[in-house]
């Protein structure tokens, strides 16, 4: 007999939820409810989450109406203690049977590790799903990622926002529950203005359609987002342009509206004299408007706003949006005009009044340290020393402008514009913006040599300085964004192919720190921290984790890997080496060699193998092949040709396999055994010339 199933719908109505957290709240709630059903053994279909500014909901089809019955077994007393010498049940047996609700004769005997025992076997009926749902939903609500919960009214309940209604239906039946001091019922709510009255949901599968009509609510978050995207694009094209749609803004607008309507608006064309980034920041950041570009790629004096209502008079709504954006753009224009009256160079002294970090001094102090680093490594980037130093001094000056004070996301961007207005060299202007690149994951690194130099110097100073004051990241906490800074530094060096020693770079940064800080002690840890940031980056590029681990094993205070460029060359060579048929076998052989040497207690030097003590042909062959390969490998490594080095090592695959098939390493003769161990140690060292080959994937065994 098949189990009875029906659809489940849960909706919690609230006051406006935080827009930037709405998607995470939606998915977390749906996943937590689904997990609760799974843990209770209640079969179900795939959960469909919903969310609008005023609700979290989940629809789960094909939910079993009760748990399956469960076979149970309870162990009782040992048989020896359950019956007396005449075979009659003892009080222990009778008490156990009574606790199980059966007679002693209905108990069975089972064999356990502790001998034969009495046991009860039966079937525990499954509970009704409806009775379990309040606990499952309550637990799901308690697990939501809410950093700060709030209380409302006289309630002791807490949630991210005050809750106003609760709908729980399993099929056509309301599931009785009281959560957040709300009693469940069959009613949802439509749009706050279009359909404010309670909205009866006949069946869970009707939820989205009923909210859409007559409720005037698009409950599906992703459908609502794409509806907004399509509407914004259509409106902008109607104005003869193309909407600028950033995904984070689209996501936020989706979380702010229930019945989105895209509307065209405009502003005074005179505002276009202001750098477009400032206008875009004002439109997006303050008003959540979508800017519009013309066919020539330039910003048009138009925008697209998304209203949360279908107005009878859209012109009034548009006029309101235009009235709101005008003073914002006027502010941007005022800042632009005012800031240009003071050249960036005249603002540098003012950096002395802005603290960067108490122990590390002001922004002026930091600029001085970055300028020293820029001067020190200018030649490595092919940059004139004087230009590099001036760019470093000006890099923070735009932080003192009114525009950046109002729009912090424009730091660097406005530096580029103001430097250009001041008549600075174009390379310097671009570098003031590029020093911040990459600004986020997926962003490009600086494209110009001067921008690359500043980006590296800025991050090197920050990393060593913050490590030196004991504020290195701990766990998930990284208040100074050092993980992002380290990856940005590594990517900049790598993608621009600047083969600079990390030790030299961080040691130079340590030399510039204020007195009393031991930056030298942090050079090694910062090197390790920086290289480690590449692990996830390589995984995103599709490289196996074992390839990174193989090269990472060589990187350290005494390791041969000096720079991220050298590190990458080794990584790519190992990746190509993996495609060779000999690779898996050599990796496996290296693991075997490591195990043999470890068990033999050999860690450091093992001496030089003596050809006179080689007894087997396989030993002689391997010894000769290894000698030839070592010389060739050393020459290849010296010129950074790791592919050729690994090619020579691949040539040892045959002799290594033959050695292990024909030679007993741990011979009875101590001198022969030590000589063979010395040969293996020499072989292991050869394979460390490029990477730790033992870390690469070996042969799979079926």
pLDDT digits (tens, 9 = 90+) for 353-392: 999 999 999 999 999 999 999 999 999 999 999 999 999 9
Q: Which residue has the higher pLDDT, 535 or 554?
A: 535
* Domains, in order of start, for the chain: 5-67+128-212 (3.30.70.260), 70-124 (no CATH), 221-339 (no CATH), 344-532 (1.10.3210), 581-695 (1.10.730.10)
Q: What is the mean pLDDT of the chain?
A: 92
Query: Closest by alpha carbon to 548, among 562, 534, 563?
Result: 534
Q: What are the φ and ψ backbone dihedral angles of 463, each rounded to 5 degrees?
A: -60, -50
- Mean pLDDT highest for which of 19-33, 100-114, 120-134? 19-33
pLDDT digits (tens, 9 = 90+) for 414-469: 999 999 999 999 999 999 999 999 998 889 999 999 999 999 999 999 999 999 99
Tell me what the mean pLDDT of segment 212-229 comes to. 97
In the beta sheet, which residues pair with residue 75?
119
In the beta sheet, which residues pair with residue 410?
none
Q: How far apart are CA 373 and CA 215, in angstroms?
A: 63
| pLDDT for the residue 1 | 34
Residue 698's pLDDT band (cuts 50, 70, 90)? low
Q: How far apart are CA 322 and CA 329, in angstroms?
A: 10
Tell me what the mean pLDDT of segment 200-220 comes to. 97
pLDDT digits (tens, 9 = 90+) for 644-683: 998 888 888 888 888 888 878 787 788 888 888 888 888 8
**Of 280-284, 588-592, 602-606, which gets the smallest average pLDDT?**
602-606
Residue 3's pLDDT band (cuts 50, 70, 90)? low
Q: Prior bond to 97 cis, omega within 30?
A: no
| pLDDT for the residue 653 | 84
pLDDT of 519 over the 80 cut: yes
Rg (CA), the chain: 35
- Contact status, residue 181 vs residue 153, Cβ threshold 8 Å: no
pLDDT of 147 over the 90 cut: no
Within 10 angstroms of residue 366's Cβ, the number of other Cβ atoms is 23
H or E stretch covering 242: strand 242-243
**How far is the CA of 76 from the CAs of 84, 296, 367, in angstroms?**
16, 85, 77
Q: Which residue has the higher pLDDT, 220 or 640?
A: 220
pLDDT digits (tens, 9 = 90+) for 574-589: 999 888 888 888 888 8
Please give the biggest Cα pair distance in the chain.
Answer: 111
pLDDT digits (tens, 9 = 90+) for 118-133: 999 988 888 999 999 9
pLDDT digits (tens, 9 = 90+) for 60-87: 999 999 998 888 889 999 999 999 988 8
pLDDT digits (tens, 9 = 90+) for 603-627: 656 577 778 887 888 888 888 888 8
**Of 259-268, 348-357, 548-557, which gets the smallest average pLDDT?**
548-557
Query: What are the structure tokens assigned to 52, written together?
Result: 């609008």
Q: Which residue has the higher pLDDT, 153 or 392?
A: 392
Q: If you search the block for the tokens 């730790």, which residue do you land on? A: 692
The rounded percent of the chain whose pLDDT value lies above 70 is 97
pLDDT digits (tens, 9 = 90+) for 161-182: 999 999 999 999 999 999 999 9
Q: Work out the burial of residue 67: count CB atoms within 10 Å of its CB; fewer than 13 is exposed, 13-18 middle, 19 or more buried.
A: buried
Secondary structure (DSSP) of 634-702: HHHHHTT-HHHHHHHHHTTHHHHHHHHHH--SS-SSHHHHHHHHHHHHHHHHHTTTTS-GGGS------
């Amino acid at each position: 007999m098949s189990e009875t199933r029906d659809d489940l719908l849960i909706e919690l109505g609230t006051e406006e939820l935080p827009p930037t957290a709405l998607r995470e709240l939606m998915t977390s709630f749906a996943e937590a409810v689904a997990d609760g059903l799974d843990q209770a053994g209640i079969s179900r279909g795939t959960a469909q989450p919903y969310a609008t500014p005023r609700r979290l909901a989940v629809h789960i089809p094909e939910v079993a109406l009760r748990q399956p019955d469960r076979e149970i077994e309870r162990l009782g007393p040992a048989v020896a203690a359950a019956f007396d010498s005449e075979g009659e049940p003892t009080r222990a047996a009778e008490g156990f049977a009574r606790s199980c609700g059966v007679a002693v004769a209905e108990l069975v005997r089972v064999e356990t590790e502790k001998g034969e025992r009495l046991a009860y076997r039966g079937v525990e009926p499954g509970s009704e799903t409806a009775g379990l749902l309040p606990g499952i939903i309550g637990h799901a609500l308690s697990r939501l990622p809410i950093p700060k919960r709030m209380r409302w009214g006289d309630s002791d309940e807490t949630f991210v926002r005050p809750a106003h209604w609760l709908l729980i239906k399993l099929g056509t039946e309301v599931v009785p529950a009281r959560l957040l001091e709300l009693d469940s019922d069959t009613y949802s709510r439509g749009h706050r203005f279009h359909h404010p009255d309670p909205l009866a949901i006949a069946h869970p599968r009707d939820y989205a359609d009923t909210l859409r009509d007559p409720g005037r609510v698009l409950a599906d978050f992703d459908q609502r987002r794409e509806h907004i995207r399509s509407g914004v694009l259509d409106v902008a094209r109607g104005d003869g342009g193309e909407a600028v749609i950033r995904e984070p803004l689209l996501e936020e607008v989706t979380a702010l509206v229930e019945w989105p309507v895209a509307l065209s608006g405009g502003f005074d064309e005179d505002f276009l004299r202001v750098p477009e980034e400032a206008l875009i920041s004002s439109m997006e950041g303050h008003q959540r408007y979508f800017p519009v570009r013309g066919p020539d790629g330039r910003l048009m004096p138009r925008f697209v706003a998304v209203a949360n209502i279908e107005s009878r008079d859209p012109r009034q709504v548009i006029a309101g949006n235009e009235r709101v954006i005008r003073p914002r753009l006027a502010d941007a224009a005022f800042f632009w005009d005012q800031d240009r009256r003071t050249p960036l160079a005249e603002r540098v002294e003012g950096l002395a009044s802005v603290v960067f970090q108490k122990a590390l001094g002001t922004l002026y102090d930091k600029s001085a340290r970055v300028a020293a680093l820029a001067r020190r490594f200018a030649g490595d980037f092919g940059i004139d020393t004087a230009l590099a130093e001036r760019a470093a001094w000006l890099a923070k000056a735009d932080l003192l402008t009114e525009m950046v004070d109002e729009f912090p996301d424009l730091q660097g961007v406005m530096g580029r514009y103001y430097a250009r207005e001041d008549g600075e060299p174009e390379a310097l202007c671009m570098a003031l913006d590029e020093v911040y690149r990459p600004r986020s994951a997926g962003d490009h690194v600086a494209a110009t040599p001067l921008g690359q130099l500043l980006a590296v110097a800025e991050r090197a100073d920050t990393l060593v300085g913050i490590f030196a004051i004991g504020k290195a990241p701990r766990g998930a906490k990284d208040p100074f964004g050092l993980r992002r800074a380290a990856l940005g530094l590594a990517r900049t060096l790598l993608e621009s192919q600047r083969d600079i020693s990390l030790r030299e770079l961080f040691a130079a940064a340590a030399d510039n720190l204020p007195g009393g800080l031991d930056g030298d002690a942090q050079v090694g840890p910062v090197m390790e921290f920086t290289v480690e940031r590449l692990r996830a980056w390589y995984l995103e590029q599709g490289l196996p984790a074992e390839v990174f681990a193989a090269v990472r094993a060589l990187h350290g205070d005494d390791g041969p890997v000096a720079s991220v460029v050298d590190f990458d060359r080794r990584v790519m060579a190992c990746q190509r080496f993996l495609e060779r048929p000999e690779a898996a076998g050599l990796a496996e052989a290296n693991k075997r060699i490591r195990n043999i040497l470890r068990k033999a207690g050999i860690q450091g030097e093992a001496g030089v193998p003596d050809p006179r003590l080689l007894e087997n042909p396989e030993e002689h062959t391997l010894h000769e092949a290894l000698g030839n390969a070592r010389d060739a490998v050393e020459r290849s490594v010296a010129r950074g040709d790791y592919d050729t080095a690994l090619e020579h090592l691949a040539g040892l695959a045959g002799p290594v396999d033959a050695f292990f098939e024909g030679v007993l390493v741990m011979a009875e003769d101590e001198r022969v055994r030590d000589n063979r161990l010395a040969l293996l140690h020499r072989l292991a060292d050869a394979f460390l010339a490029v990477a730790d080959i033992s870390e690469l994937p070996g042969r799979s065994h079926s």
